Amino acid sequence: MTASGTLQSTIDAAGRDLPSTFAPFSPMHALCVVACAAVMLAAALAGRRLRTRPAAEERLRRSIAISGVIYWAASNAWWMWPANFKLEDSLPLHVCDLAGIIAPVAILTRKPWLRALLYFWGIGLSTQAFFTPTLEHGPASMRFWLFWLNHTFIVGTAVYDIAVGGYRPTWRDFRTAAAVSLAYLAFILLIDIPLGLNYGYVGNTTPENPTVIDKLGPWPLRLLPLTLIGMAMMFLVWIPWIAAAKHAGRRSARGMASADQLQSPRSDARG
């Protein structure tokens, strides 16, 4: 037996006693969300504890990034393996597939446009996988683990960049993410339409599990509201930072006013 055959046999044997299907809004769904959130929180807290030790924090950040690159390569190798390959879902063309490689590069290079995509695609779009997962396979399938690992890494890295890396999205970042998202839409439609695929969930099919797409009407008419919803979700995750910036501006203005009053001569001094 080959090494790959032995590995697959081991996976199959380990999964025989595990559920083979997954249902949204089930106890298993809730357990997965809690477990993934715990992992993301643990990484962010570990990074924050190391902020006073920049060298140690950098090692942690690099470890996260390198692990992400290795995972992305390994998971895509699994999807592209002939026994697992399906044209409709094996190519790394979903937003979350692209975000999976953007995430480690963003926290390593800290390039603004990559951090913008990580934030708006990670927090704005990829978080939907935790609320309305399109997953059908249970823990007995490798697809189950790849789904949750991928989305946990993307969203967790975005959270880490905020909590530890100090990233704060700007209006320019939102415009960058919106422009790249529209370019992605145009690109993926050129693949979906002629091949009858549904990458980006903008093709002429819908996921098996219920999602908001089911409520948007027939294709291609649903493309417009779907695009607007995507843009709105990215805008919504930017709003808290607008409010935070305004609040910080007011506090700064009050602080400057107080400093001016302390420095000005007293008007009631005796002559």
pLDDT at residue 116 above 50?
yes
The residue-averaged pLDDT of 69-84 equals 97
How much of the chain, in percent, has pLDDT values that exceed 90?
76
Residues 182-222 pLDDT 10s = 999 999 999 999 999 999 999 998 887 778 888 899 999 99
Residue 97 half-sphere exposure toward CB, CA atoms < 13 A: 17
> Sign of the CA dihedral 23, 26, 29, 35?
negative
| Statement: residue 5 has pLDDT above 80 | no
The predicted pLDDT at position 207 comes to 80
Does residue 264 surpass a pLDDT of 90?
no
Dist CA 110 CA 225 (whole Å):
33
- Express as a percent the part of the chain with pLDDT over 70: 85
Does the pLDDT of residue 105 top 50, yes or no?
yes
- Radius of gyration of the CA atoms of the chain, in A: 23
Q: Is the N-terminal amide bond of 220 cis, ω within 30° of 0? A: yes
pTM: 0.85
Angle formed at CA 44 by CA 169 and CA 180, multiple of 5 degrees: 30
Segment 31-47 shows an average pLDDT of 98
Q: What is the mean pLDDT of residues 98-119?
A: 97
Q: 199 with 94: CB under 8 angstroms? A: yes
